[in-house]
């Protein structure tokens, strides 16, 4: 996972700790929302990914909006992830670069079919990859 974190830090312009947290948050989001079989393939192709995801995954959204979204069963989706990343000081332009780096790396390691199935299964995700 260090290779991906370094790649994100360098190419997106985040400090290494911020890059690690952002990658963990994205992996956690995918793990929570993606199709089980493909997520299993992804985590298997990225040693340390499951641990990193567990370290930075937040249960449910925070605040009133997060509570309302959870009550509606939405969990916030891609927008909640974006909000979490922005609360970590990552700008909207950086979020797009960040997601492209993470998905490109994941595709290199897990394959196009696996990542295509994950992106296709999570509403709104395709606009960020």
Residue range 60-96, pLDDT digits in tens:
444 454 444 444 444 568 999 999 999 999 999 999 9
pLDDT of residue 42: 97
pLDDT of residue 66: 47
pLDDT of residue 129: 84
Kindly write down the DSSP assignment for every residue of the chain, as one continuous string: -HHHHHHHIIIII--HHHHHHHHHHHHHHHHHHS-HHHHHHHHHHSTTHHHHHHHHPPSS--HHHHHHHHHTT-TTHHHHHHHHHHHTT--HHHHHHHHHHHHHHHHHHH-HHHHHHHHHHSTTGGGG-
Q: Which domains does the chain have, with CATH numbers?
A: 2-128 (1.10.490)
pTM score, whole prediction: 0.86
Low-confidence ranges of the chain (pLDDT < 50): 60-63, 65-74
pLDDT of residue 21: 97
């Amino acid at each position: 996972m260090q290779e991906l974190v370094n790649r994100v830090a360098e190419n997106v312009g985040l400090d290494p700790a911020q890059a690690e947290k952002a990658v963990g948050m994205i992996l956690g989001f995918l793990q929570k929302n993606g199709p089980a079989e493909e997520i299993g393939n992804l985590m298997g192709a990225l040693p340390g990914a499951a641990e990193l995801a567990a370290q930075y995954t937040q249960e449910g959204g925070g605040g009133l909006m997060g509570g309302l979204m959870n009550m509606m069963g939405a969990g916030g989706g891609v927008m909640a992830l974006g909000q979490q990343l922005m609360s970590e000081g990552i700008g909207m332009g950086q979020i797009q670069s960040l997601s492209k780096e993470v998905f490109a790396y994941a595709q290199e390691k897990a394959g196009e079919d696996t990542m295509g199935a994950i992106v296709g299964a999570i509403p709104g995700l395709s606009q960020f990859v």
